[in-house]
Structure 1
Amino acid sequence: MPPKRETLIRQKVDVIDSILRTSGEYRLTNDEDAYSIVEGIMRLHRGSNLAIEQPRARFGGEYIFRLAKRPNGSEQQN
């Protein structure tokens, strides 16, 4: 039996969170699950310096997540 959609979204949120904490940036394709994933990331990083650039079009494009400060306190270099 394949995993439920909610489980797959949660796994994707965890992967993105891990990448954000190590590299400070992640790009997410705007697909049918993107809104749920964005909500999950926003919940995890509430109160942090997370910046999210939304796609210009309603469909297509990508979300760009950036952490201004990494969890270890160092500034992200641009």
Structure 2
Amino acid sequence: TAVATVDPTEGAAGIIEIGEANTPTPTPLPSVDAGKDSSLPQTGLETWGIIALGAILVIVLLGARRLRAS
């Protein structure tokens, strides 16, 4: 069976008890990127741009090989 882990400084109502003063438990702020699909930075190079760059590189390498062979 699952057993809940309870912080001994936290009361049942979610209030941290420190001496005589009771302070509410802080809630985390939503992140700036909440709702975005990815957390990676956008570099401006989309998938098709990378494919085109790879194709150009292959063409240049094949052209250089043909020039060297002749």
- Output the TM-score relative to the length of structure 1: 0.27
- Output the TM-score relative to the length of structure 2: 0.30
Larger strand share, 1 or 2: 1
* Structure having greater relative contact order (Cα 8 Å, sep ≥ 6): 1
Larger helix share, 1 or 2: 1
